[in-house]
Amino acid sequence: MTDKLHEECGVFGIWKKNGQDASLDIYNGLLSLQHRGQEAAGIAVCNTYGERGNICIHKDMGLVTEVFDEAMLNDLQGNIGVGHVRYSTTGDSTIRNAQPIAFQYLKGTLALVHNGNIVNASDIKSELLKDGSVFHATSDSEVIATLIAKIRAHTGSIEEAVREIIPKLQGGYALIIMSPRKIIAVRDPWGIKPLCLGKVEDGYVVASESCALTSVEAEFIRDIRPGEIVTLSKNGMASDTSMCTEKTSHAHCIFEYIYFARLDSSMDGVGIYDARFRGGMALAQAHPADADIVTGVPESGLTAAEGFAHASGLPFVRAFHKNSYIGRTFIKPTDKERHSAVHMKLGVIPGSVSGKRVVLIDDSIVRGTTISNLITMLRKAGATEVHVRISSPPFLHPCYYGTDVPDNSQLIANKYSIEEIRSRIGADSLAYMRLEDLSTMVEGAPICKACFDGTYPTGGTK
């Protein structure tokens, strides 16, 4: 039903000196990262006290609250651990690709979680296959795991092996590896995927977003640097910056700011709520509308709508009530009643829009189905005009770094002009954010905006 792009994953790792309840922290962390992936969840923990730690793992298809109950968490005893929430495209939606993945290799056991996509994964895999490796799943994670094992066989430490793989991996990734004694976190040299570091009373936490640090009452320390390797162990936190890159080559994913990340997170120094609010302001300045009220599509368009209202001086009003009881198991109306699915999820507040000229803000248009239904609903409730403003540029190019995008043929901006789109969705006017305003949104931070302009930071692979 949702006409949105999808993130592929969220990762979380923790190293605590004491206690056996790392799994509960990871559970809370994953709950806070649930918006990054709703198809599978998993936790692996280990106890560093004993002679040689045993890695315990549980993962399954479903939401965090579906995969884990109290008894399950109690079974996962350990003071360190990693966790993962996964979104996956249909073809790969199988328990085999769920994470963490754990594996035995020459020097012992490792568990691994990762968010992102390795552009040259199939080349690496081919090399490994020629060497006699076997693969049980289809994920990049298994390729990374096998590569680490291979390199680790002839290096002095797991950190060294991780350092060696960085130049081999092209793409965006946030990777957390757990050995029976350590947690090792690494972020791609472009900084495409987010990863941040926090401090709890007796240890450290790494997570995809800062909101996950807050959920375990960790203090935010800083974002992990592009190319940095952070090791958490009984010796505290150690940082290896030898693979770090210059800021000029950084390219943070702009869609984290536009839609993926949680409103209360902050990434690479930029607050998500603030970024979206600024985006709305820029949109108002570039594409003002002669209207009575400003409203947003819940939840994706609300913050930009507030920014638009602030910059334009028009009142911000909520025009839709979102029914929070309608989840994935909702019996959808049949095709001929497709509009009803939106109907059930979002109810128009008639008093807000009746007799009004409405500015309707959303963060993006992928297929255009939802916005079209919402415009119809607004008009039926008495809106006299509907001016649509989108707080991102038209989405034109595929993403190779782990964001699930539909076929080009399904991307409305790829098939039609803006005027044609306006006409198809039934708006009185339609405008998208200008490419140059993306920079305003993130206050000049270096961004990957390949999906809008086709320029890929990892170079000419595609």
300 binds a copy of itself (CB under 8 A): no
336 binds a copy of itself (CB under 8 A): no
Retrieve residue 84's tokens. 């993962």
- Which residue in the set 181, 310, 338, 424 belongs to the binding site for a copy of itself (CB under 8 A)? 310
Token look-up 């150690």 returns 238
What span, in angstroms and rounded, lies between the C-alpha atoms of 112 and 55? Answer: 11
51 binds a copy of itself (CB under 8 A): no
8 A C-beta contact, residue 289 and residue 359? yes
269 binds a copy of itself (CB under 8 A): no
Q: Identify which range of 64-72, 189-197, 232-240, 405-413 contacts a copy of itself by CB under 8 A.
A: 64-72
Backbone angles phi, psi at 292, to 5 degrees: -100, -35
- Which residue in the set 97, 208, 266, 372 belongs to the binding site for a copy of itself (CB under 8 A)? 266
Nearer to a copy of itself, 237 or 349 (CB): 349
Nearer to a copy of itself, 31 or 237 (CB): 31
Per-residue binding string, a copy of itself, 92-121, x by CB under 8 A, is ---x-----xxxxxx---------------
Least distance from a copy of itself to the Cβ atom of residue 446, Å: 20
Least distance from a copy of itself to the Cβ atom of residue 216, Å: 9
Backbone angles phi, psi at 116, to 5 degrees: 130, -170
Is position 56 annotated as part of the catalytic site?
no
340 binds a copy of itself (CB under 8 A): yes
- Which residue in the set 52, 123, 135, 408 belongs to the binding site for a copy of itself (CB under 8 A)? 135
Q: Name residues contacting a copy of itself, limited to 7-26 (CB under 8 A).
A: 24
- Which residue in the set 17, 181, 343, 379 belongs to the binding site for a copy of itself (CB under 8 A)? 343
Q: Name residues contacting a copy of itself, limited to 154-213 (CB under 8 A).
A: 211
Query: C-alpha distances in angstroms, 114 versus 140, 183, 232, 371, 415?
Result: 9, 13, 17, 33, 34
Least distance from a copy of itself to the Cβ atom of residue 54, Å: 10
What span, in angstroms and rounded, lies between the C-alpha atoms of 330 and 325? Answer: 9
- Which residue in the set 18, 75, 136, 435 belongs to the binding site for a copy of itself (CB under 8 A)? 136
385-390 and 429-432: which strand pairing? parallel
373 binds a copy of itself (CB under 8 A): no
Question: Could you give the 3-state DSSP secondary structure of residue 388?
Answer: strand
Least distance from a copy of itself to the Cβ atom of residue 417, Å: 33
8 A C-beta contact, residue 230 and residue 203? no
- Which residue in the set 6, 8, 11, 28 belongs to the binding site for a copy of itself (CB under 8 A)? 28
CA 402, 14, 108, 163 torsion-angle sign? positive
Backbone angles phi, psi at 97, to 5 degrees: -95, 0
Distance of CA 322 to the CA centre of its chain: 22
Q: Which DSSP state fits 405?
A: -
Q: Identify which range of 10-18, 321-329, 388-396, 421-429 contacts a copy of itself by CB under 8 A.
A: 321-329
CB hemisphere CA count around 354 (13 angstroms): 4
Least distance from a copy of itself to the Cβ atom of residue 396, Å: 30
321 binds a copy of itself (CB under 8 A): yes
Q: Is the peptide bond before 100 cis (omega within 30 degrees of 0)?
A: yes
What span, in angstroms and rounded, lies between the C-alpha atoms of 299 and 120? Answer: 35
Q: Give the catalytic positions in this structure.
A: 9
